[in-house]
Chain A
Amino acid sequence: MNDGFVRQLWHYLALIFLALLALAPIWVMIATSFKDDVLVQDGKPLWFFFAPTLENYQYIVTRGKFDRYLTNSVIVGAASTAITLLLGGFCAYALARTDFRGRTLMANSTLLVRMVPPAVLAVPAFAFVTFSGVKSDLAVLTFFYTALNLPFAIWLLFGFYKQIPVELEEAAIVDGATSLQVFFRVLLPLMKSGYAVAAIFTFRIAWNEFILALLLTGRTTRTLPVGAAGFITDTGVEWGRIMAMGTLIVIPPLLFTFFAARQIIAGMTAGAVKG
């Protein structure tokens, strides 16, 4: 056994240990979601067990309003993602390609509003819904999620547009293409991965967000996180059911992670490493 091999072995062992730490709590949730109440209340950790039960899932799907929450979440997530990418893409393109009056101000304020804490939005959003007469519906939530996500999307897409050589567009313009044609026919195909990263981050925020969703939705417009929190009652928490709900909420983000981990890491590190 040479030194290199031993070192590599330790390297792997350390990584496996850390991976287990990261995964364990998520696994606890998944395992608990398949336990009946007796098993949950027993209090003895069971990582794996025979005879998992689907009764928690059955309950939330049939007795709860899961289908409605799911529909709401999907609508808000998809709509805010689509609008964010469209508007943010235009904006990032202009910022990356031209030097106009107010560009620096625009760039700075975009990054500043990115930091606005959701708690600050809570009261004004509540005031808006209470007094504008606008019903607390999914459109309002979609609007706020779009606003929340735009700064990061612009900032991310800006970096991707910067990497595309200007000559490509110039050639297209010489060939007689309009600005919009250049944008849609020349640039968009090259921007696929950039938009994919932005889409994942935008959708994830909209899918996971809780505070604004709680304040701005009514009985029929609740999203999944709000629905899940509803299983916490004054008399206690229905752990099996809430874990089943949590597991279902986590599925899309986990799928994104497994299929697009590289892009997610690119998005996360873009700010720190590039800047």
Chain B
Amino acid sequence: MSEISQKPRFEPGAFTPYAFIMPAIVVMMGGLLYPVVMAFYLSFYDWEIGRKLADAPFVSFDHFVRMVADPQVWEVLWVTIRFGFWTITIEMTLGVALALLLEKPIRGASIFRTIFILPLMVSPVVVGLIWRYLFDARIGWINYYLGVWFGIEPQVWLGDPQLAFFAIVFTDIWQWTPFIFIIVIAGLQALPSEVVEASTIDGANWYQQIFLVKLPMIKSILVIALLMRLIDVFRGLEVMLIMTGGGPGRSTELLSLHIYNRAFDTQQLGYASAISVLLIAIVFGISTVILTMANPMKSKSDV
């Protein structure tokens, strides 16, 4: 930095990459890296809201020891895994199936594509509000139509552990299946047409073409989409916070939401930080897998 600040302006032709990079680095360090380090630091202190951090006792690894034996942490981890399993399985299956069925370019495709990304653009808070309303036991539209069409009694969707879990899975599927659909369609349409044509000439049937030609060729897209969704499962909390707050019980409390509730509901900031460290480890683990598979910035020869 020092050599740069001494020069009032850049020399012609002499490119100074560090000067271009530093401002962004500084902001990311302050806004992302520092909080992560801070989470590590705080996890060693028994800090609660209303207490000065300086007065918080140092507890060494106590929080981590406690965490390993904490049934609540295991419970929300299990909820998160189940949530991830159901949402990702259904979203990938639906998204890929629809993309295969509807990949053929047709007139007006762009209008439909525009409509399909709308759910992705809606604020998570608003998504939570809309579905909380639709699933409402008394005035919700879902109960109404289930009753009118199928004669099903009104259910207290968000008040029953299993039904509430179903509701948040359903909401996630509504919002994120279009994402898979659009990514897969883009991948399919980018496939060289010669390969698909060649397989037709070789006598491959529709089924073989999908499972032996098309899907293997977009495998990396599928895996990356899946991992990106997996990370989102660990990152998301706003929709559930609005819809159920994590309840009833902890039936819809994902790991991220649990950290939030621990910190600001039960006010155990130090312990919440320890759980944050667990979350960081999980997310960085998944991210590293993505990085080794596809990092567009890794080498200059890329792109």
B297 nearest CB across to chain A (Å): 4
B132 cross-chain contacts in A, Cβ below 8 A: 237
Chain B residues 221-249 with CB under 8 Å of chain A are 221, 224-225, 228, 231, 234-235, 237-238, 241-242
Bound CA span A14–B94, Å? 13
B116 nearest CB across to chain A (Å): 6
Which residue of A18, A23, A117, A268 is within 8 Å of B235 (Cβ)? A117
B216 contacts partner chain A, Cβ-Cβ < 8 Å: no
Which residue of B21, B145, B284 is within 8 Å of A106 (Cβ)? B21
Looking at the complex, which of B58-66, B198-206, B268-276 is the stretch in contact with chain A? B268-276
Which residue of A125, A127, A249 is within 8 Å of B53 (Cβ)? A127
Chain A residues 239-267 with CB under 8 Å of chain B are 239, 242-243, 246, 249-250, 253-254, 256-258, 261-262, 264-265
B126 nearest CB across to chain A (Å): 4
Which residue of A127, A178, A208 is within 8 Å of B123 (Cβ)? A208
* A274-B31 in contact (CB<8A): no
Bound CA span A104–B141, Å? 52
| Given A108-B298, A124-B42; A272-B221 close (CB under 8 Å) | yes
Looking at the complex, which of A61-69, A88-96, A191-199 is the stretch in contact with chain B? A88-96
Looking at the complex, which of B67-75, B84-92, B99-107 is the stretch in contact with chain A? B99-107
Tell me what chain B mostly uses at the interface: helix, strand, loop, or mixed: helix
* A211-B28 in contact (CB<8A): no
Chain A residues 137-180 with CB under 8 Å of chain B are 143-144, 146-148, 150-151, 154-155, 158-159, 162-163, 173, 176-180
Bound CA span A90–B11, Å? 17
* A115-B16 in contact (CB<8A): no
B130 cross-chain contacts in A, Cβ below 8 A: 25-26, 28-29, 246
| Given A108-B295, A228-B129; A28-B134 close (CB under 8 Å) | yes
A90 nearest CB across to chain B (Å): 4
A42 nearest CB across to chain B (Å): 7
| Given A124-B35, A237-B132, A272-B183; A262-B110 close (CB under 8 Å) | yes
Which residue of B134, B279, B288 is within 8 Å of A117 (Cβ)? B279
Among B31, B234, B286: residue with most chain A CB under 10 A: B31
B169 nearest CB across to chain A (Å): 15
B211 contacts partner chain A, Cβ-Cβ < 8 Å: no
* A90-B23 in contact (CB<8A): yes
A110 cross-chain contacts in B, Cβ below 8 A: 28, 297
A113 cross-chain contacts in B, Cβ below 8 A: 28, 32-33
Bound CA span A97–B126, Å? 41
* A123-B39 in contact (CB<8A): yes
Chain A residues 209-228 with CB under 8 Å of chain B are 210-211, 215, 225, 228
A15 cross-chain contacts in B, Cβ below 8 A: 102, 112
B186 contacts partner chain A, Cβ-Cβ < 8 Å: yes
Which residue of B42, B179, B241, B298 is within 8 Å of A104 (Cβ)? B298
* A162-B12 in contact (CB<8A): no
Bound CA span A115–B234, Å? 10
Proximity bits, A36-53, B CB within 8 Å = 1, else 0: 000011111100000000
A1 contacts partner chain B, Cβ-Cβ < 8 Å: no
Bound CA span A22–B127, Å? 12
B297 cross-chain contacts in A, Cβ below 8 A: 95, 107-108, 110-111, 155, 158
* B141-A269 in contact (CB<8A): no
A17 nearest CB across to chain B (Å): 10
| Given A99-B300, A119-B259; A88-B10 close (CB under 8 Å) | no
Among B10, B129, B231: residue with most chain A CB under 10 A: B129
* B284-A115 in contact (CB<8A): yes
Bound CA span A97–B141, Å? 55
* A131-B53 in contact (CB<8A): yes
Query: Which residue of chain A has the shortest Cβ distance to B104 in the bound complex?
Result: A11
* A148-B25 in contact (CB<8A): no
* B284-A40 in contact (CB<8A): no
B9 cross-chain contacts in A, Cβ below 8 A: 178, 180
Proximity bits, B259-290, A CB within 8 Å = 1, else 0: 11001100001001100100110011011101
Which residue of A32, A127, A211, A257 is within 8 Å of B121 (Cβ)? A257
A48 nearest CB across to chain B (Å): 14
* B102-A29 in contact (CB<8A): no
* B129-A18 in contact (CB<8A): no
* B174-A210 in contact (CB<8A): no
B131 cross-chain contacts in A, Cβ below 8 A: 25
| Given A107-B297, A123-B273; A243-B133 close (CB under 8 Å) | yes
B234 cross-chain contacts in A, Cβ below 8 A: 117
Which residue of B21, B121, B129, B259 is within 8 Å of A122 (Cβ)? B259
B31 nearest CB across to chain A (Å): 2
* A265-B30 in contact (CB<8A): no
A-B contact pairs, 25 of them (CB 8 A): A11-B104, A15-B112, A18-B112, A19-B115, A22-B118, A23-B115, A29-B129, A42-B139, A44-B144, A90-B21, A95-B17, A107-B297, A110-B28, A116-B36, A162-B302, A178-B12, A179-B10, A210-B241, A237-B133, A239-B139, A257-B118, A257-B121, A273-B186, A275-B224, A275-B296
Q: Which 3 A-B pairs have CB atoms at the shortest separation, nearest pair first? A: A147-B31, A275-B294, A107-B297
